[in-house]
Structure 1
Amino acid sequence: MTSKEKITFDGINPSPTRFSELNELLINLVISARNILGDNFFGAYLQGSFAVGDADMQSDCDFLIFINEQLTDYQENELRKLHDEIPTRQGHWTQHLEGSYPIASEFKTLKKLDAKWLYIDHGWREMQWDTHCNNCWARWSLREKGITLIGPDPKNIVDPIPKGIMRDEAKKLLINIIADTHSWMPPTIAWGQRYIVTTACRMLYTIKTGEVISKARCIDWAAKNLDSRWLYLLKQVKEDRKLGFDANATPREGSMQEAYSFVKYVQSIGLKKN
């Protein structure tokens, strides 16, 4: 197969999600990518929220389209054109695709965590070379929960991630979660408050289990397992998720400080030396 031969729908998972509009978009994405990549196409998958469960209309759709070797200039340029065009289409999900084009051999182990892959952020039209999807979370969610669009079984693509590594990485993120979040999301935006609380819950869950769960489930887990004084905050974060991202929406009065206090509480548990 060459990059000039047109690929059809054959073999592509027709219903990878419960959203028909998104399914149609993913089929189109895979067909377009295969036509561009030709023999360099390896497989296509979903990881992240759609893989671990409970994805909703506020979720990003995290995809991985694997390649066999580094992109040629032609392939990179054509992929950039494709992802520049997708957000101009009508529909909700055209603004919420997020993913990378990793080299399959670099994804298999953790040895290439410094490798940058061609990446598109949700809502963006310009692709970047970035390590965004190059982490243990993406590998774990793909191997253990991944959804195949087309290609080999995910367990044949990535080696198992030791729970100790998952726990260590979660601890690293938990240490600086507030400063790291505010480096790209100002404290004046309500979405950031929810992000900080949810991420703290997810990191603590991973520290406790060595695994990953969805944003919704991690809030429920925290409500059942942490001090009851945080129930109001956790309920607020869960209920406000349906509001989505709004750059003009400010945090509820006192909620950001409550989020900071919650992080300190979670850190006292998750970073405690045995």
Structure 2
Amino acid sequence: MSVHPSPHSQPWGPINSAPTPYPELNFLLTGLTQRARAILGSAFVGAYLHGAFAVGGAECSSGCDFLIPTRAPLTPAQEAGLRGLHTQLPTRPGRWSTALAGAYPALAQLRSLDGMGHPWLSVERGHRQMDWTTTTNTEVVRWILRERGITLVGPDPATLVEPVPGAVVQQAMRRLLAGAGEHLAQRGGLETAGAQRYVVTTCARMLHTLATGQITSASQALRWALESLESLDSRWHPLITQVLAERAHPGDDRPRAGSAAATAEFARYAQQVAAEVPPPDPEDGRP
């Protein structure tokens, strides 16, 4: 996969060669962008990162989420080309080749919340098979792309996506917590530090969004939870402090005595908070 710009790159400008702190990943993203652009031709709009790298706090164990919008729905030939590309990517050497996850939305379906419900050709992390799914077609992804998205190449994402009101993001998080709270509380292996970090940080990020209408990184959400005494019960401070400290040593997954029960209780607490928060004012919702 060549990383040298081709003459065809000029209409879109140069590719951002250092969108992340990881040279190996940057090399892979440059190649992905070039190959996708060659397959899509004039239908190529741009390439962007959302997810952990966009909101901050991504680590070497993080996945890397991308969106590559197109000017029109994919043709059969374009779809076949993209499927071939993503069949090859996970077989490349290096850990980042199995960390990519993304979608190819038609710009008309991405631009506003009216486009929700449409499936986009997507690939999950580490998979070689692409599927048409709505997994990425969400309010949260649009908010992150517009407000925090990292441009690999193409126009500013704020020119591609209409603003997503904070109340809409909060309502989406209420739905997620309503459905996921009990699942998180029962997640297998809660006795390990890794599982505890996942559940506690996920719930902290959801609670932060419920309170602010914004999406932030795991570490920022955990610090917010410690500082927001009016928003979050202080009895959770020992658990959150422990998780913050352990994020500096992600390879240590030894069981933490008593933390499994506390983690499950925190997940149920977050679900309860979501159920008690009043629904947002309709005037602040979807435009």
Q: Same fold (TM over 0.5)?
A: yes
- The answer as to whether partners of 1:30 and 1:44 remain within 8 angstroms in 2 is yes
The residue that corresponds to 1:262 in the other structure is 266
Pairwise CA distance, 1:25: 0.8
> How does the TM-score come out when normalised to structure 1?
0.87
Q: Secondary structure at the match of 1:54?
A: coil
Pairwise CA distance, 1:160: 0.5
> How does the TM-score come out when normalised to structure 2?
0.83
Pairwise CA distance, 1:6: 7.4
- The answer as to whether partners of 2:47 and 2:66 remain within 8 angstroms in 1 is yes
Q: How far, CA to CA, are the matches of 2:49 and 2:208 in structure 1? A: 22
Report the number of matched residues.
266
- The answer as to whether partners of 1:86 and 1:94 remain within 8 angstroms in 2 is yes
1:56 and 2:59 correspond: yes
1:234 and 2:240 correspond: yes
Q: Secondary structure at the match of 2:18?
A: coil
Q: 1:181 to 1:250 in 2, by over 3 A?
A: farther
The residue that corresponds to 1:18 in the other structure is 21
Q: 1:269 to 1:222 in 2, by over 3 A?
A: same
Q: Secondary structure at the match of 2:114?
A: coil
Q: How far, CA to CA, are the matches of 1:229 and 1:179 in structure 2? A: 20
Q: Secondary structure at the match of 1:74?
A: helix
Q: How far, CA to CA, are the matches of 2:259 and 2:41 in structure 1? A: 51
Q: 1:264 to 1:236 in 2, by over 3 A?
A: same
Q: How far, CA to CA, are the matches of 1:135 and 1:17 in structure 2? A: 24
RMSD across aligned C-alpha pairs, in angstroms? 2.5
Pairing 1:123-202 to 2, within 5 Å after superposition:
123-181=126-184, 186-188=187-189, 190=192, 191-202=194-205
Opposite residue 229 of structure 1, the aligned amino acid is R
Q: How far, CA to CA, are the matches of 1:239 and 1:82 in structure 2? A: 40
Q: How far, CA to CA, are the matches of 2:255 and 2:119 in structure 1? A: 34
Q: 1:80 to 1:272 in 2, by over 3 A?
A: same
Between 1:26-35 and 1:222-231, the stretch displaced more is 222-231
Q: How far, CA to CA, are the matches of 1:118 and 1:133 in structure 2? A: 10
The residue that corresponds to 2:285 in the other structure is none
Q: 1:200 to 1:89 in 2, by over 3 A?
A: same
- The answer as to whether partners of 1:6 and 1:35 remain within 8 angstroms in 2 is no
Pairwise CA distance, 1:24: 0.9
1:209 and 2:215 correspond: no
Q: How far, CA to CA, are the matches of 2:104 and 2:114 in structure 1? A: 17
Q: Deviations over 1:78-130 (max 9, x none)?
A: 21121111111111211111111111110111112111111111111111211
Q: How far, CA to CA, are the matches of 1:55 and 1:271 in structure 2? A: 29
Could you tell me which runs of 5 or more consecutive residues in structure 2 were left unpaired when the two chains were aligned: 1-5, 279-287
The residue that corresponds to 2:99 in the other structure is 96
- The answer as to whether partners of 1:80 and 1:127 remain within 8 angstroms in 2 is yes
Sequence identity, in percent? 41
Pairwise CA distance, 1:73: 1.8
Pairwise CA distance, 1:272: 2.2
Q: How far, CA to CA, are the matches of 1:21 and 1:164 in structure 2? A: 38
Opposite residue 74 of structure 2, the aligned amino acid is L
Pairwise CA distance, 1:242: 6.0
Pairwise CA distance, 1:8: 5.0
Aligned with 2:45 (options 42, 47, 51): 42
The residue that corresponds to 2:226 in the other structure is 223
